[in-house]
Amino acid sequence: MESIGVLLTCPMYTNLHEELEKRFNLFKLWNFSSFKSFSQTHANSVRALVCDTKIGANANTIDSLPSLEIVSTYGVGLDKIDLKKCREKGIRVANTPDVLTDDVADLAIAHALAVFRKIPHSDGYVKNGLWKHSEYPLTTKFSGKSVGIVGLGRIGSAIAKRAAAFGCPVSYHSRSEKSEAGSSYKYYPNILDLAANSQILVVACALTEETRHIVNREVIDALGPKGVIINIGRGPIINQRELVSALVEGRLGGAGLDVFEHEPDVPEELMSLENVVLTPHVGTDTVETCNDMADLVIANLEAHFSGKPLLTPVL
Ligand SMILES: O=CC(=O)O
């Protein structure tokens, strides 16, 4: 397959780059001054595109690559891929679900614990020598808090399982009631009712036109000044301006955020809040999971170019 042109949209994971380079004719977009300068010389050679959550495959990219057959994304989210365009042009799409579920769910729980028990803040307290002067103030219990999950897909379900193990009653909102959730988790057809009946709201749904800003001022106010929002999904699912003002004004109790509306920019107002825990979109970023994701990206490409069924097809 050495002659098959594969375009990598941005730096992802060194092992993935190396493994792709062994198997394909790999083009790294960031080695060119612009997409235009790349496509002027190499557009016809590209039969596959490997993208991620930072740089995906928009309509312009897809239209500029006349030989494109498959988009294999290093991640589960599809919000940076123009799926409609891929469908129209018969371009296959694959992602890396399942292998990353545990890590993202673990991080959601870690964020909840970090916010309620103020772990990063109390870590700073010890490291800055403040413990010698006074005891650390009391924090808030996480076990047993009611957890409302927005989106009970693979990741949302894994978070529900973990939250239940902490004795947290779990409810959820999604487009439709999930039969497999049975009587374990209460379903709210309306996100406002979910927020009003939860102490923690965990955002775990995909970003789509329907879910953009689904967590708005009303939802934040329904959660209230003791409520906590955890977001391991995508930044734009929450109206970030409203989230920041609710945190600054004390209308929301705290937040654990792995994703933001304009990554890597994070609102300055959040930096000094001790009830806010921030991580740089690292839900899937463990060595184990990144290796599994890289293997899956490659396995999907190899399956496609050998005429076999994709392992994890989206389209
Ligand atoms: O954000 C990470 C992913 O979509 O896999």
Residue 3 in this model has a pLDDT that exceeds 80: yes
Ligand 1 atom, smallest distance to 281 CA: 1
- Residue 92, both tokens: 């296959």
Q: What is the pLDDT of residues 157-212, one digit of tens each?
A: 999 999 999 999 999 999 999 988 777 999 999 999 999 999 999 999 999 999 99
Q: Enumerate the β-bridge partners of residue 71.
A: 49, 93
What is the four-CA torsion angle of 245, 227, 156, 288, rounded to 10 degrees? 80
- How would residue 295 be classed by pLDDT, with cut points 50, 70 and 90? very high
Q: What is the pLDDT of residues 243-263, one digit of tens each?
A: 999 999 999 999 999 999 999
Residue 215 in this model has a pLDDT that exceeds 90: yes
Query: Measured from the CB, is residue 101 less than 6 Å from ligand 1?
Result: no
Query: Measured from the CB, is residue 53 less than 6 Å from ligand 1?
Result: yes
Q: Which of 93, 284, 290 to mutate to test the pocket of ligand 1 (most atoms within 8 A of CB)?
A: 284
Which residues does the annotation mark as catalytic?
234, 263, 281
The pair phi, psi for residue 269, each rounded to 5°, is -60, -25
Burial of 31-45, coded b for 16+ CB within 10 Å and e otherwise, reads eeeebeebbeebbee
Query: Measured from the CB, is residue 56 less than 6 Å from ligand 1?
Result: no
Residue of minimum CA distance from atom 5 in ligand 1 = 75
- How would residue 40 be classed by pLDDT, with cut points 50, 70 and 90? very high
Cis (ω within 30 of 0) for the bond into 264? yes
Ligand 1 atom, smallest distance to 77 CA: 4
- How would residue 68 be classed by pLDDT, with cut points 50, 70 and 90? very high
Alpha-carbon separation of residue 295 from 36, 69, 289 (angstroms): 30, 19, 10
